[in-house]
Structure formats: C-alpha cells, structure tokens
Amino acid sequence: MERPWKTTDLRLVLEDGSIWRGKSFGSSGTQVGEVVFNTSLTGYQEILTDPSYAGQFVLMTQPHIGNTGVNFGDEESQQCHLAGLVIRSLSPCVSNWRSQKTLSDYLKERNIMGISDIDTRAITRRLREDGSLIGVLSTDAFKTDEELLHMSRTWHIVGKDLITDVSCTEPYEWKDATSDDWEFSNKVNTSNDTKLHVVAYDFGVKQNILRRLVSYGCKITVVPSKFPASEVLKLNPDGVLFSNGPGDPSAVPYAVDSVRSFLGKLPVFGICMGHQLLGQALGGKTFKMKFGHHGGNHPVRHLPTGRIEISAQNHNYAVDIASLPEGVEVTHINLNDGTCAGLTIPAMKVMSIQYHPEASPGPHDADPAFYDFVQMMSQNQA
C-alpha cells in the first residue's frame, strides 16, 4: 500500500564519499554535476534559468524554497540549465499572485532533478572547507552507492567548454526593454533617437542584461559564441558586449581570441565570463576559486570613488590581479576576499565587471555600469 507521505527516495553522493538521502521533486533519474551553494534569499527562478549554472547542482542556503511558485516573467532564458537543485525544505503550498505553477511541476516539465529534506547547512559547511565537490543525484535504487561514488570521482568539469551548448545558434535581434512597471532609472533613453548598436556575444547571456541595454537606448544584435569577429565588424557596431556564461574560461580559447580581436577597435564591455575572457585577452590569467561566489549579497568596492555596491554574483573562476600587465586598472574588488571584480583600460575603451549589473540585490547598485558603457560608446562616436 502506498504511504500518504513521501519517503526518502533520492541520494546525493559526493566525491568525498559522503551520502545524503532526501526526497525527490521535479524529474527522476541519475545526474552528475558540480555542487555549489547560493546564499540568495529569493530569486530561485532566475537561478534556475541562468545559463551560467550549466553543469552544476545549486544548493540553496535559504532553507525554505518554493513558496512563491514560478512565473514566466522572471525567467532569464528559455530553459533551465543547471544540473539539479538542492534544498532543505520544499514549500507545500504556493502563495504569490504572480505564480503560474509550482516549483516541482516546473522542474518536472524541464527534466531537472531536485532533492529536499537534507541537511543543506552541513553540506554548505563542507563545501566551504573542502571547496566545490562533484556529486551525483540518483533516484535509481538499483545503482549502488559505490557506483554513484565512482561516477562522481571520474566526472570532471574543469577544462570543459560549457559555453557552446548554452549559446544561440544563429544571430538575432533583441528588442524588449525593461517594462514601465519595473523601470527604476532616470537615465534610461526612452526617445526614438538613433540608437547605439551593440553586438552581444552569447556565452549564456541573461535576458535582463539585454533588456537593460535596450532601456539605455541600444539596438541589440545577439550572435553565437563562435561568431567570427570579422563578421561582427561588418555589422558596424558601436560597441561589443561579452556576456556571462558557464564553466572554465581557459577551456574556450576561441572566445579569448574573439575578445582580443576587438581591443582598441571598439568599446567593449565584459560581464562575468566576459570579464574573465577579457582578463585573459589582455594578457592576464584566471584561476578556479575554492567554492566560488554565488548569491545576491556580495559587497564590492568601486575603487575610484570608494562606493560600495551590493552585488549578485555567480562564478567559480576569477582573474588573477597579479598576472595583469601594466596599464590595466582594477576598478572593483570583492570585499569578502579581495578578488578582482572589475577592470578597465580607458584609452582602449575597455570595461568589465565580475558580477551581474542587471540583477537587483542592492537593489540597483550596479545598474549604472550599463550607463557607463553607453557613455563610453557615445564618446567614441564624438
């Protein structure tokens, strides 16, 4: 006889040998990924649809998840890209007027596994001490713990090109701006004047990045990750955006070459993965962090002004400040660990930040970065 309550039916096996048993929601099966923790209190739907989480299990440190349900207006892409979701407690009900379905149904439709009723606090402490770990989620009772452990120890994420699978396949034009109901900046361009043309390299771009650029008066052409730089120049853009994206920047040398092709020719703006690729294109190096930055509460200092921004971040790699050549100015640092959070070379009209200016944890501390990029392009036209 079937029990009226859900029993433990899902295992999370980590490469350190630990086994965590919980309850499944979403899809079933067996999936491998890198386990990272995210300290955001809200915004799990944006996290689910952020392409930068490809290949990763996201563990939410906020214990209660799912109470606001899911709505299609908050998606950052057309699908879920993460490998799985790990939470302490799945809300038994949804109470939000914007909700269109439950989190569990949403994940099931998108073939994403979720595990609840496990000690996320203990796993987070383990990740902080040992660093990000490879794990396996499985509802398959016929697979032994040893088989799953072997999977976790033989799967690797470092050195993999994760960008290609999340990028678009053909160029397209993006036209949507931030809706009037959500607009907050008095610097946006709502006129019908000639717009600045920005070509955005899609390494896993979040849609809200594109919305903000349109709001600031830009015409956007999005191109695939391997789109030739020579073809971009034929489009005669006013600037080039290198977007966020998943994985190891050292695994995509073709993207570094693309960034290098525009240096000194056009204003460029790198965000997250784009920032790391820019650091490499300028002659610097990147390194894998112990457990990365994932969350909506990271303090960043803007060094030229001393201004502090509360930022949303999602990255496992960082630019090595010591490796940057002379002439590259570090503009932002993460106040938690002193890592590089922003670069510029004014003479070359280059700028980048390691965090997400389109997100709203501060709530709008980082949004002026879009305005700065627009000003850079406008000055280049003068």
pLDDT digits (tens, 9 = 90+) for 299-354: 999 999 999 999 999 999 999 999 999 999 999 999 999 999 999 999 999 999 99
pLDDT at 254: 97
* CB atoms closer than 10 angstroms to residue 72: 12
CA distance 7 to 5: 6
The pTM score is 0.95
What does each C-alpha distance from 148 to 27, 48, 114, 143, 152 come to in angstroms?
A: 18, 24, 17, 7, 6
Partnered with residue 24 across adjacent β-strands are 115
For residues 196 and 239, the answer to whether their CB atoms sit within 8 Å is yes
CATH superfamily of 172-381: Class I glutamine amidotransferase (GATase) domain (3.40.50.880)
Question: In this structure, are residues 86 and 12 in contact, taking their beta carbons and an 8 Å threshold?
Answer: yes
Report the Cα 3 to chain-centroid distance in Å: 40
Numbered ranges of CATH 3.40.50.880 in the chain = 172-381
For residues 230 and 136, give the distance between their C-alpha atoms in angstroms, rounded to a whole number. Answer: 42
Q: Which one-letter DSSP state was computed for residue 270? A: E
Give the Cα separation of 352 and 376 in Å (integer): 12
User: Any catalytic annotation for residue 315?
Assistant: no
pLDDT grade, residue 189 (50/70/90)?
confident
- What is the mean pLDDT of the segment spanning 42-67? 96
Residue 175 carries which DSSP code?
-
Q: Does domain 10-154 have CATH number 3.10.20.600?
A: no
The arithmetic mean of pLDDT across residues 61-80, rounded, is 94
Residue 325 gets which letter from DSSP? P
pLDDT digit string (tens) for 257-271?
999 999 999 999 999
For 115-124, what is the mean pLDDT? 98
Is 272 one of the annotated active-site residues of the chain? Answer: yes
Residue type present at position 278: L
Chain centroid to CA 226: 19
Confirm whether 356 is a catalytic residue.
Answer: yes
> Residue 3: what pLDDT?
63
Options 75, 80, 81, 272, the catalytic residue: 272
pLDDT class of 193 with cuts at 50, 70, 90: low
Query: For the chain, where do the domains classified as CATH 3.50.30.20 start and end?
Result: 10-154
pLDDT for 194 equals 63
